[in-house]
Amino acid sequence: MINMRYTKYLLLLLLLASCASQRSDRHRNHRNVVTPDAPVAIPVSAPVVEEEAEEPEPVVSGRPLVSQVHRAPQGTWQHKKQQALDSLCQSAIFETTQLGLYVYDLTDGEPLYAVNAAQRMRPASCQKLVTAITALHFLKDNYKLRTDFRITGKVKARVLEGDLTVVGGMDPMVTGEELLQAAASIRQQQGIDSIAGNIIYDLSMREDAPYGWGWCWDDDYGPLSALLVDGKDTFEENWLKAMREAGIKANSKNDEGRNARKDNKSLTPRGEGGGGQIYSIRHDIDDLLIPMMKNSDNICAECLFYQTAASTGKKGAGRKQAAQRTEELLKRIGLNPEQYKVADGSGLSLYNYVSAEMLVSLLGYAWRTASIKEHLLPSLPVAGYDGTLQKRMTGTEAEGNVRAKTGTVTGISSLAGYLTAANGHTLAFAIINQGVSSAAIGRTFQNKVCQELCSH
């Protein structure tokens, strides 16, 4: 009898323990179920669909980054590359940093991959792509950067009885040697040994702001001017030196630089009769594009930015006119310019905001427009060969293949351009890594993406 009661008691205890365990497990499971935030859809030109059931999202400790572009059929090259990029986007770096990524197949005419492609981010020097493509769209194929020399008054007994005006064209390629050649020509061809009037520096091409909008106080660039020598605001002293070496005498006030007029308004030199333009220093737009893109020269980029601003026909043109040109182009290619901010031409400004989608859209337009492509493509750094990509992706299938603009400022690393994929298709891409503690983190990720797209 005792054994029977003891057995029943044990069975009852076991049953109660089992029920308690099940309740605890249900409670624990309910507490641990977390529904991740769904990726925000982006306005890409291909259908945006959810991840296919047969491809579960990789599990990471943070919110997974998943492509928001329609999945290619299984077994295709495109499908395999989408899976490979999915894997790269699960890096732990994206638990604390932001990514904007867009890859567009120019051959097929459809997106291949996109993560946060429409999110606004700072571009760093990839802003130079915006500057270059906008300028090449609005400026003529034979556009020249010019620095003109004009005189008023007559030349009597080798003395100019009027003024010599130098009209600035914001050309950073002007050198001290070219100024010597200009002074020698004025003396020999015009027969001028002395200037009785003023030396006038016409700076009316651009606004008089010495620095870009949103530049940091410790940016070691500028001041900007419509008259530059080797990209620096030292034109006046270099020109006076060139005249002295050529044997042209100016009155003592001019020679000391005290009587030189600087103005951001259109100047009408004084004097009567004779004169006009007597000499011009000119450079092709490609002369500026090469250092601007290959070496990421910020002053060259600002100068091209102001060439575009001046193309509106406004004297003293500035950032607003240049931004207006970019907005016109964005509308033309189907983007809403209100979604972006153009603050300068170089990407130094803290106020620039673009998206990976915007950069790729401009790259696509440039690729389809021969008059832009023929100037832009040769100016881009080539992976493993030159410019800011000289030491990147060496020894991989991306070497000699990727042509792209780099971008680096504190907290930002970016890369945007073109490559030929392993299937022979031409791809345009943009990658923006924002919030990185070092640029190397972004560069490493960008290299992996390019290498994956180029690899067989």
Give the chain's largest Cα–Cα span: 143
More confident residue, 221 or 173: 173
Asked if residue 220 has pLDDT above 90, the reply is no
The residue assigned the tokens 């008089």 is 208
Residue 363's Cα: distance from chain center in Å?
11
Q: Is residue 27 one of the residues assigned to a domain?
A: no
Q: Which CATH number is 408's domain given?
A: 3.40.710.10
Asked if residue 207 has pLDDT above 70, the reply is yes
Give percent helix, percent strand, percent coil of the chain, each to the nearest 5.
Answer: 40, 20, 45
pLDDT (tens digit per residue) in 172-202: 999 999 999 999 999 999 999 999 999 999 9
> Residue 121: its pLDDT value, please?
98
pLDDT band for 47, please (50, 70, 90 cuts): very low
Q: Which residues pair with 405 in a beta bridge?
A: 416
Asked if residue 170 has pLDDT above 60, the reply is yes
Residue among 376, 360, 332, 331 nearest 429 (CA)? 360
Q: Which CATH number is 257's domain given?
A: 3.50.80.20
Asked if residue 227 has pLDDT above 90, the reply is yes
Contact 415, 407 (CB under 8 A): yes
Q: Which residues pair with 354 in a beta bridge?
A: 121
Range of the domain at 250: 144-290
The one-letter amino acid code at 81 reads K
Of 99-113, 208-222, 367-381, the one with minimum mean pLDDT is 208-222
319-332 and 298-310 are packed helices; what angle lies between their axes, rounded to 10 degrees?
Answer: 80
Q: What is the mean pLDDT of residues 415-439?
A: 97
Q: How many CA atoms lie within 13 A of 130 on its CB side?
A: 34
Helix (H) or strand (E) holding 420: strand 412-420
Answer with the one of 267, 290, 313 that is the final residue of a domain. Answer: 290
pLDDT band for 136, please (50, 70, 90 cuts): very high
Burial 100-118 (b: 16+ CB within 10 A, else e): bbbbbbbeeebbbbbbbbb
Q: Are strands 249-250 and 164-167 parallel, antiparallel or unpaired?
A: unpaired
285-294 and 370-379 are packed helices; what angle lies between their axes, rounded to 10 degrees?
Answer: 50
Q: Are 156 and 243 found together in one domain?
A: yes
Q: Are 274 and 153 found together in one domain?
A: yes
Q: Is residue 390 one of the residues assigned to a domain?
A: yes
- By CB neighbour count within 10 A (0-12 exposed, 13-18 middle, 19+ buried), where does 168 fall? buried
Asked if residue 406 has pLDDT above 90, the reply is yes
Sign of CA dihedral 149, 153, 159, 164: negative
Q: Is residue 281 one of the residues assigned to a domain?
A: yes
pLDDT (tens digit per residue) in 325-335: 999 999 999 99
Which DSSP string do the residues of 72-128 spell out, in sequence order? Answer: PPTTSHHHHHHHHHHHHTT-GGGGTSEEEEEEEETTTTEEEEEESTTS-B--GGGHH
Q: What average pLDDT does the chain have?
A: 85
Beta-strand ranges (E) seen in 285-411 are 403-409
Cis peptide bond prior to 210, omega within 30° of 0: no
Return d(Cα 415, Cα 432) in angstroms, integer: 7
Q: Are 194 and 252 found together in one domain?
A: yes
pLDDT (tens digit per residue) in 248-306: 998 755 544 434 445 544 444 333 444 599 999 999 999 999 999 999 999 999 999 99
Q: Is residue 346 one of the residues assigned to a domain?
A: no
* The total number of structural domains that make up the chain: 2
Answer with the one of 256, 271, 290 that is the final residue of a domain. Answer: 290
Which residues make Cβ contacts (< 8 Å) with residue 17, sequence separation at least 6? none
Q: Are 153 and 87 found together in one domain?
A: no
Q: Is residue 161 one of the residues assigned to a domain?
A: yes
Asked if residue 229 has pLDDT above 80, the reply is yes
Q: Is residue 243 one of the residues assigned to a domain?
A: yes
> Residue 26: its pLDDT value, please?
38
Q: Tokens standing for 328?
A: 């016109």
Q: Is residue 82 one of the residues assigned to a domain?
A: yes
Looking at the chain, the whole-number percentage of residues with pLDDT higher than 70 is 80
pLDDT (tens digit per residue) in 351-402: 999 999 999 999 999 999 999 999 999 999 999 999 999 999 999 999 999 9
Cβ neighbours of 133 (radius 10 Å): 24
pLDDT band for 48, please (50, 70, 90 cuts): very low
Which DSSP string do the residues of 129-160 spell out, in sequence order? Answer: HHHHHHHHHHS-TT-EEEEEEEE-S-EETTEE
The answer, as to whether pTM is greater than 0.95, is no
Of 7-16, 137-146, 220-229, 356-365, the one with minimum mean pLDDT is 7-16
Q: What is the mean pLDDT of residues 417-433?
A: 97
> Residue 69: its pLDDT value, please?
80
Q: Is residue 395 one of the residues assigned to a domain?
A: yes
Answer with the one of 290, 311, 346 that is the final residue of a domain. Answer: 290
> Residue 3: its pLDDT value, please?
52
In degrees and rounded to multiples of 5, residue 171 shows phi and psi of -105, 110
pLDDT (tens digit per residue) in 353-365: 999 999 999 999 9
